[in-house]
Every structure is written in C-alpha cells, then in structure tokens.
Amino acid sequence: MSKAGGFAKILKYIVKSILIIISAILKLTLNLLPRIFSEVIKAINKRLRFSITFKTTSTYTLLFSKILLILGTLLTGVFGFFLLYESNQSLEKNSLVIMNLISESSDIPKEQIKNYADIEVISVTLFDEESNTIYSTAQASQKENLTYRTKLSPNSSLDQNLEYLHFETPVKTTNGTRKIEVSKYLSNEKVYLASLITAISISFFLAIILTIIIGSRASRKMLKPIDNMTRTARSIAVGNLNTRLDLVDSHDELKELALTFNDMLDRIQTSFEKQNIFVSDASHELRTPIAVIQGYANLLKRWGKEDKEVLLESIDAIISESNYMKDLVEKLLFLASADKKSHRLEASPFALNELIDEVIKETGLIDSIHIISSATNEIIVVNGDRGLIKQALRIFVDNSIKYTPAGGSITINSSLRVNKALMIIEDTGIGISEEDLPYIFNRFYKSDKSRTRESGGAGLGLSIAKWIIEQHQGNINVESTKNKGTKIIISLPTLDIPVSR
C-alpha cells in the first residue's frame, strides 16, 4: 500500500468522524432548542411585571377591537348585499325596457338597444333558442362563459372576478329571440364598498388608539388609590403603626379595601401595644424577685455562713421569691398558650354542685381565718373542662381571701336560671373602686390600694379566669362597693341531665 493511499484513508476517516460529531451536535441542538426556548420564555414571564393599568387597558382594548371587527364585518356585508340587491333590481327594470323595445319591432332594434345601453351604462346580449348570441353591446373581453359565473338567484349571476352582475330574462318574440341578458359593470359599487371599508378601517384604528389613551388614563385614575395605599403601606413600620390609609371618596371596592386595611392596622397596633405592655409588666414583675434573690445571695456570701439567723432568713426569702417566680412563669405560659389558641379544652359533663363543695372543703383546710360556706348549691350539670373551671373558681376565691380581713365571710352559691348555671362568689372584703372595676381583668393590672405586691399576686389570675369562662361560652359580671365587699356572678351554659346528689 502506498503512502498516498494510506493518507487518503486517514483523511477519509477524519472527515467521517467530523461529520458524525457535527451530526450529533446538530441533533442535540435541535432537541435542546425547544426546551431552551421554553425555559427562556418562562424566565421572561417571571421577570416581566405588567401593571394592573396595562392589563386592564389591554383587556378592554382587545374586547373593544373584537366588537368593532364584528360590527365592521356585519356592516360591510349588509352594505355589499344592499348594493347587489339595488343593482339587480336596476338590471331587472332594464331587461323589461329591452323586452318592450324588442316586442315593438319585427327586427332587432340594435340602434335603440345600443343607445339605451350606453345611457344606462349596461351591456345587453340577445340569445336564440340554442343559446347562441344574436346581438350584444358588450365588448369581446366582457363575454364570459356561463360556467365561470356564480348563481345568486334564478335570474341573476355574478362572474368569477366579481366585476359584472348579469340578469337573464326569457322572452319569446317574432324575430326568434329567446333570452335577454343584461350585464352591469360593478365599478361604482366596488368604489362604494372600498370607501366604506376604508372609512371603517380608519375609524377602527382611531377608536383603538383613543381607547388605549383614554382607557389607560381612566385606569390610572381609578387605580390611583392603590398607589397611595402601596406608598402608605411601605411607610408603615413597627415603630410607626399610627399611619392609616386615606379613604377614597368613591363608594366602591377600593374604599372597602382601605377600611378593611385600616381595621387590620388598628388590630395590629392594639395587639402590638398590648404585647409591649405585657412584656414591660412581665419584666417588671420578674425584676423584683430576681433582685431580692440576688440580694439575699450576696448577703449569704458575705455573712450568712456564720450567722444562722441571716442564713434562715435568706433561705426563706429565696424560696418565697422562687415560688412567686414559678407561679408567674406558669401563668405567663398559660396565657401565651391561650393567645396561640393551642390550649385545648377537655370538655365532659360534670356536676357543678359537687365541684363547688370540693372547692369549699379544700379552701377550708388551708384557710382558717375566714368563714367559707355555701347557702344555696343546686344540682346542676354543665359540659366543660372540670379542671379549668375549678382553676377559675379557685382564682376568684383566692382573691376574695386576699382582700377580705380576718373573720370575714366568703360564700359560694349556685343556682339554675333559664338553662344557665349561676355561680356567685360573694365576700365582705375591702371591695373595688368604681374607677378600677373596668380594668380588673386586664393583665398585670393592679389598683393602688387593693392590689399591691404585699397582698400577693402579679395581676394575671383574673385574666386567666376570664379566659377560662369565655372559652366555656360563659360571662362574668362583677359588683363591688368600696369597703363593703365584692360579688362575682359567673354564668355558664347547662345540660339537662339529672344527677343525684
């Protein structure tokens, strides 16, 4: 084998390999192009941001364009039909005139027919019995075969180029004429129709342009309140919740949206302020026991090891403050769970009178300086969480104990009133002033005299009790007179289930 032959084979192999590679690249490209194009379109659609004004204007412009197009097509079709109808009626009258001219003469009055055709700007053709042309005023270029015509009616037809309208009239005369065909060149009708189409097209485009201009301005004007809302919403921050949206003058959905948004801001602001107050009060309540514990710890570190009296005092104080902090944290956790609505009630029917007897007995064991009794305790069945209702009742009784001097009385009565269970806790304590009554269920609320730290409590118990009663679809009414006592009336829904006592 020669060197030239070997080189040719190598070159052929290289070319073939290159072609295979190019073919593979082309196939891969053709397969990937649609996918790449699709991904590019998706990316563009994600990136593009069309305003509501643009969308509204485009939608109504397209809708208006469709309506105009349909109306223009209908108008053009009706006008074209009217022109053909009028031309056909005119040709029918002309054929009657030609028929009269032929019937009045034994020969074909060619001169008269010619003059009449020139005046009316028509063509007249006479045919014999075998459809051969006897006489015609038309030029040779105008004579078309019948196979190239479209029938409009039994007597009229239109040629293929839509240039001539033909009207045929059968006739029997002495000169052998058997059919008269009158033709009209539709030049004027085409001009009329073209003028109408041009006018409609110009009006169409002008209307579309006006629609875009006026529609975009109207849309921007109508949607201007949304821009104001957007700017206002952007200016609202955590520390600036007093800003509100301006209410638009119109009575439409935008005003309703503004009202709803302002109401939402009111609720957020109220919740935020309550949260700030809650955090502040909780921090204040925790700061005091922590400071006491730190103080006694430092005292123990300095002198408590040698002084037994200081040691016992410090231990008692630390235990007391720790118990207070534990109670406070448990109440905070309870309220946090209630706010998140994650605290579920374990409801079941139980005898309310038995629960009251139980609370009276247990309270009497731990408190011997007050008279705790029940004058009326009717048999009542309620459906609810027995543990939580007992907790609420204990909170009210504990409050009465705290603010009732030694030797005072606390009564817990129950009665049934129109499918409602009434629990009445009444004491002979120091009472609550009128200005304090509306706020006693607020978290951490304390009056200056009746609810101090020395008397115990952080001001969360009544809030917890109120939440428990409300979760059982009940309500609380408080009546109090300063230095005479307090009456708390709790109402709960009942069940009609007899229970033996």
d(CA 19, CA 69): 54
Place of tokens 């200016």: 235
d(CA 474, CA 420): 9
Is residue 343 within 8 A of residue 334, CB to CB? The reply is yes
Tokens at 147, concatenated: 């196979």
pLDDT at 486: 92
pLDDT at 193: 84
**Per-residue buried b or exposed e for 312-345, using 16+ beta carbons within 10 Å of the residue's own CB:** eebeebbeebeebbeebeebbebbeebeeeebee
Length of the chain: 501
pLDDT at 425: 93
Tokens at 278, concatenated: 């809650």
Sequence-separated (6 or more) residues with CB below 8 Å from residue 133: 125, 126, 127, 143
Per-residue pLDDT tens digits of the chain, which is 501 residues long: 454 455 455 556 666 666 677 677 667 666 766 776 677 666 655 555 566 777 777 788 888 888 888 888 888 888 888 888 888 888 889 888 888 888 777 778 888 888 888 888 888 888 877 778 888 887 654 554 445 677 777 888 877 777 888 888 887 766 667 788 888 888 888 888 888 888 888 988 888 888 888 888 887 777 777 777 777 777 776 566 777 777 656 566 777 777 888 888 888 877 777 777 777 767 766 777 788 888 878 877 777 667 777 778 888 888 888 887 887 787 777 777 777 777 778 888 999 999 999 999 988 888 889 999 998 898 889 999 998 899 899 989 988 898 899 889 999 999 988 888 999 999 998 888 888 888 888 877 766 444 445 555 667 788 888 888 998 889 999 998 888 899 999 999 887 554 444
In 3D space, the residue among 265, 471, 292, 492 whose CA is nearest the CA of residue 382 turns out to be: 492
Domain range 253-339, its CATH number among 3.75.10.20, 1.20.1730.10, 3.40.120.10, 1.10.287.130? 1.10.287.130
Domain boundaries, the chain: 71-195, 253-339, 348-493
pLDDT at 448: 47
d(CA 469, CA 338): 13
pLDDT at 321: 81
* Fold classification of 348-493 (topology level): Heat Shock Protein 90 (3.30.565)
d(CA 424, CA 487): 7
Domain range 71-195, its CATH number among 1.10.1060.10, 3.40.1280.10, 3.30.450.20, 3.40.50.970? 3.30.450.20
pLDDT at 499: 43
pLDDT at 145: 46
d(CA 211, CA 57): 8
Where residue 461 falls (left for φ over 0; alpha for ψ -120 to 50; beta otherwise) is alpha
Tokens at 286, concatenated: 């925790």
Place of tokens 């364009």: 65
Tokens at 479, concatenated: 């009546």
